[in-house]
Amino acid sequence: MPLTVNGHEITEEQIQQEMGVMRQRYQAYMAQHQAQAKDDELKEWVKESLIERALIEQEAERTIKDVPAADIDAAYKEAQSQFGKLPEEEARLIVTRQLRTQRLVDSIRDKIKQPSDKDVSDFYKQNEQHFVMPEQVHVRHIEKKIPAPDQKDAIYVEALNIHEELKKGASFEDLCDKHSDCPNSDLGYFAKGAMVEEFDDVVFNMKPGEVSDVFLTDFGYHIAKVYDRKDNATVPLEEAKDRIIEQLTMEAQTTALNSFVDELKAKAAIDRS
């Protein structure tokens, strides 16, 4: 028996097609939670997703009556290449349904008020550990790539010669511009983990103004200069405020949309047999 939502049939073909679309995201989710991915569980996920989509589309069809022709024309032209050989009339119906659905979803989200200053402050206090900036260094480097394994020694000698120029007083910045194979030699500020381990091991043990010896990573030979260091510090509330407002608003919108769908489910005739 096919799955039906208020008399609308969701075919096995649609379910299988949606499983193909959702499989990668489902597997990533299960891996993140150290759980085994199962096809029957994925299928249930997909069924619930298709049921919810059908309910929202049906409600949008019932409540969102007028979609301006200009909006339909613009959306159709933008998505025209995705429809392949599908007749224009059918494609326009799909576009219209999508626009109605989006307007309904937007109307639910738009009802959510911006969180108050107290909401923001409370969230900040309860999650202060998430607003700590780790130690950072500002680094520029001269990188010499190794085009082939048999050129490794020659590239090392070249890097040593550049290092000798630095010892004699040459400008690090000038030599970066002249010799570095990295298109953007100024790496700016970064925390541990942003670069490969071998690079971090060197630069996070240097002082501002210090220039490293020649060292090797998977990217080639490097000479690094540390310009500045920033100790780990808590981001002030004022700096974190916009990010908190965005997160709280998104969470409230998601909750409102889920509640709306739950209400539709409670009133719907859904045959899962």
Give the CATH number, domain containing residue 150: 3.10.50.40
Separation CA 56–CA 102 (nearest Å)? 9
Residue 242 lies in a domain: no
**Per-residue pLDDT at 74:** 94
| Same-domain status, 52 and 143 | no
CA distance 124 to 237: 7
Lowest mean pLDDT among 46-60, 76-90, 228-242: 76-90
107 contacts: CB under 8 Å, gap ≥ 6: none
Chain segment 125-147, per-residue pLDDT in tens: 999 999 999 999 999 999 999 99
Q: Are residues 108 and 200 in the same domain?
A: no
Residues 71 and 147 in one domain: no
Residue whose structure tokens are 């599908």: 86
Section 238-257 average pLDDT: 96
Q: Which two tokens stand for residue 186?
A: 């100024």
In a shared domain, residues 223 and 266: no
Strands of the chain (E only): list them: 3-5, 8-10, 132-133, 136-144, 186-191, 215-217, 220-230, 233-234, 270-271
Contacts of 9 (CB under 8 A, 6+ apart): 2, 3
Same domain for 77 and 168?
no
User: Residue 177: is its pLDDT beyond 80?
Assistant: yes
Higher pLDDT, 209 or 37: 209
The whole-chain average pLDDT of the chain stands at: 94
Q: Is the pLDDT of residue 90 over 80?
A: yes
Is 30's pLDDT higher than 90?
Answer: no
- Which residue's entry shows tokens 């190794």? 146
> For residue 72, which of 59, 89, 57 has the smallest C-alpha distance?
89
In a domain, 144, yes or no: yes
Who contacts 1 (Cβ-Cβ below 8 Å, separation ≥6)? 271, 273
Place of tokens 């200053």: 117
Considering the domain architecture, whether residues 68 and 104 belong to the same structural domain is answered as: yes
Residues contacting residue 155 through CB under 8 Å, at least 6 positions apart: 144, 145, 146, 147, 220, 221
Range of the domain at 258: 3-113+248-271
Residues 175 and 260 in one domain: no
Task: Provide the CATH number for the domain around residue 19.
Answer: 1.10.4030.10
In-domain check, residue 167: yes
User: Is there a domain that residue 239 lies in?
Assistant: no
Residue matched to tokens 């024309």: 73
Q: Which of 222, 208, 226, 219 is nearest to 162 (CA)?
A: 222
Q: How many domains does the chain have?
A: 2
d(CA 216, CA 201): 11
